[in-house]
Structure 1
Amino acid sequence: MTSVRPLDVPALLGEFHRRHPGVLLQISAVPTGSQGLVDALLERRLDLALVSLPGPRPAGITLTELTTSVLDLVVPADHPLAKRRTVPITEFAGLDFVDSPVGYGNRAVADRAFAAASVPRRVTVETTDLATSVAYVQNGLGVALLPRFAVSEEQGVAALTVDDADLDWRMFLAVPSERTPSAAARAMIALGREFLA
Structure 2
Amino acid sequence: MDTRQLEYFVAVAEELNFTRAAARMFAVQSTVSAGIRALESDLGTTLFVRSTKSVALSPAGELLLPEARIALEAIDRVRSASSTTGIRGRLRVGIFTNVGFVDLPGLFGEFHGLHPLVDLQLGASASGSTGLADDVRRGRVDVAFMGLPIQDLVGLEVLTLAETRFVAVLPLGHPLAALKRVTLRDLAEEKFVDTPAGFGNRVVIERAFADAGITRNVSTVVSDLTEVPRFVAADLGIAVVPELSLVLPPGTVAVRLDPVVDWRLSVISRPDPSPAVAALLGLFADRVTSASAG
One of 149, 153, 156 as aligned partner of 1:58: 153
**Counterpart residue type for residue 194 of structure 1:** D
How many residues were matched structurally?
194
- Map residues 88-99 of structure 1 onto 2, 5 A cutoff: 88-99=183-194
Contact 1:6 1:67 in 2 (8 A): no
The offset of 1:120, in angstroms, is: 2.1
The offset of 1:54, in angstroms, is: 1.7
One of 157, 176, 187 as aligned partner of 2:279: 187
* Separation in structure 2 between the aligned mates of residue 50 and residue 192 of structure 1, nearest angstrom: 11
Aligned to 2:195: 100
Question: Any stretches of 5+ residues in structure 2 without a counterpart?
Answer: 1-95
Structure 1 ranges of 4+ moved more than 6 A: none
Mapped pair 1:133 → 2:225 = no
* Separation in structure 1 between the aligned mates of residue 146 and residue 109 of structure 2, nearest angstrom: 20
* Residues 23 and 5 of structure 1: CA distance in aligned 2, closer, same or farther (over 3 Å): same
Aligned to 1:68: 163
The offset of 1:152, in angstroms, is: 4.2
- Map residues 1-197 of structure 1 onto 2, 5 A cutoff: 1-54=96-149, 56-153=151-248, 155-164=250-259, 166-177=260-271, 180-196=272-288, 197=290
Q: How far does the alpha carbon of each residue in 1:4-52 deviate from its partner, in whole angstroms, 9 at most, with x for none?
A: 2332222211111122222111011111111111111111111111101
Q: Say which one has the larger Rg.
A: 2
Q: How far does the alpha carbon of each residue in 1:86-125 deviate from its partner, in whole angstroms, 9 at most, with x for none?
A: 1111111210101111111110111011011112210011
**Counterpart residue type for residue 251 of structure 2:** G
Aligned to 2:62: none
Q: TM-score if structure 1 supplies the norm length?
A: 0.92
SS for the counterpart of 1:79 is coil
Q: How far does the alpha carbon of each residue in 1:106-157 deviate from its partner, in whole angstroms, 9 at most, with x for none?
A: 1011101101111221001111212211110111111111111233455431
Contact 1:62 1:176 in 2 (8 A): yes
* Separation in structure 2 between the aligned mates of residue 108 and residue 36 of structure 1, nearest angstrom: 12
Contact 1:138 1:156 in 2 (8 A): yes
Contact 1:57 1:63 in 2 (8 A): no
* Separation in structure 1 between the aligned mates of residue 107 and residue 137 of structure 2, nearest angstrom: 24
Q: TM-score if structure 2 supplies the norm length?
A: 0.63
* Separation in structure 1 between the aligned mates of residue 244 and residue 152 of structure 2, nearest angstrom: 24
Higher helix share: 2
Contact 1:92 1:119 in 2 (8 A): no
Contact 1:76 1:138 in 2 (8 A): yes
* Separation in structure 1 between the aligned mates of residue 153 and residue 181 of structure 2, nearest angstrom: 33
Question: Any stretches of 5+ residues in structure 1 without a counterpart?
Answer: none
SS for the counterpart of 1:142 is coil
* Separation in structure 2 between the aligned mates of residue 153 and residue 111 of structure 1, nearest angstrom: 22
**Counterpart residue type for residue 190 of structure 1:** G
Q: Percent identity?
A: 36
Q: Which has the higher contact order (CA 8 A, sep 6+)?
A: 1
* Separation in structure 1 between the aligned mates of residue 150 and residue 194 of structure 2, nearest angstrom: 19
CA RMSD of aligned residues (A): 1.5
